[in-house]
Structure 1
Amino acid sequence: MNAALFPDLIVNGELVPHALIAAETQNQDAPKGKPGIAWRKAANAVAIRTLLLQEAAARQIVAAPREVGPGRFETEEEALIRGLLEQAIDVAPPTGDTIHSEWEKDPARFRTAPLWEVSHILCGCDPRDAAARAKALARAKGLLALLEGNPKSFAALAARESDCGSRSSGGSLGQLGPNDTVPEFEAALRQLSEGEISAEPVLTRHGYHIIRMDAVAPGKILPFEAVRAKIGEAMEKAAWARQSRSFIAQLVAASDIKGADLNSV
């Protein structure tokens, strides 16, 4: 194994087996053909886990694995790390005034879900097939060019050209809300105004879509009491995350680590 790409990880004198880092690489994103990047990310993650387990041992933490889902339990290591963090981190729930101040910063952030009335024309293809994808894109761009000259022809064009079953209703998909469609399609919906047609074809797992926003109901701003608990929970989670990062940074600063770069922690 190339020692430059895959160096030994040593945390406070403890040599971490290469097999642990290799297993962790499966959880790390890295460009194809760049195993060294995945290894470095994995080494950083394993180094932090090792530090936490060392600290749990030093504090003589005892924690039984908890059920985290139907029939699924924490590993012993996960239980120890949870027990350590529960001991080391103390987050006070935010006060009512603090929660209200957060809400007052921008009440418009807290709305009921939007509704979109949408029509589309699908030029279907398997996005993994480069030739089919290029053919579908060319076809979609051609249809867009026709619509630019005559937007009112959308329904007729959808009925004639769309590869979706909605062609029978002129491309209408009816009302959609968040999570009713694939992420790429929803992201495009959030950028469209009422009456607008997507400027470019939108690629999803189904192919290229030409999307028309027929109507928009943006959602109503919720009163403070309706979102108070949700804001308080989010603030408490954010405070816990800040404290946990600070705790880990303190452990890193006091440790001797070789084979990982935790300077950004």
Structure 2
Amino acid sequence: MRSIKSRVLLASAASLLVVSACNPDQTAKSAAPAVKETAVATVNGIAINKSRVDMIVKQGASAGQADTPEARKSIIEQLTMQTLVAEAAVKKGLDKLPEVTEQIDVIRQSVLANAYVQDFLKSNPVTDEMLKAEYDRIKASITGSEYKARHILVETDAEAREIIAKLRKDAGSFAKLAMEKSRDAGSKAAGGELGWFDVSRMVPEFSSAVSKLEKGTFTQEPVKTQYGYHVILLEDSRPIEAPPFEEVKPDLAQQVQQQNLKKQLDDLKAKAKIETVEAPAAAAK
């Protein structure tokens, strides 16, 4: 919880610095806003408004921090100290230092950019029609098969060939041999069972071998990969199917939202006049 508070309060400190930079004289003397707000504390006449505490509480809630009286008290204490230290910094003229004003400007731009993004997302909500169109597009692009297989992994080609010879005499002993011989700790206890998978999950040599097998057959030659030598049994295969729309709807919403945002940002960039200058070389140490 402390780390969450620290991150949230750090964001608040950044906001405080931005305010200080925008109007240092007002920060040093009085932070009275144009519209009167409820102050939860004052520091040498500088008001710490409830709205700022509420903002930090909201940020904390998104990180799993509960809104409790104790949490609010801690936030107010931190803001009080930050305000006091920021005021002292302004009085010393530290807000005029180039490195400080540069940092404040970066923070200000970041806050404004984030505000723009949030405003765009709010003004351009993702509709069910958009989600269904994206789902149909992805569904139409899905091709290929997925496989249900077992395998036995051994260290040498000779060991694999010995297992293949035994399977030729008794193909039904595959699971038993896997439990006895396989070096794959993840599937050994289950008789080499790998469950359903598509070939993209496996290394190329393994995928190639599986896709060439007929249902109920096993590899007649050892399959060498970076892990060793495999003997593979294909138990079943089926066309890859898209998951139900409702199941993937939340992920689709995020994906479409990001696509819309990227298009908007790309449009902004395309319309802008951007000139880049090669950065100077770093000073020698």
Normalised by the shorter chain, which TM-score bucket? 0.3 to 0.5
Provide the TM-score with structure 1 as the length reference. Answer: 0.42
Provide the TM-score with structure 2 as the length reference. Answer: 0.40
Give the number of the structure whose residues are more often helix, by fraction. Answer: 2
Choose 1 or 2 for highest CA Rg: 2
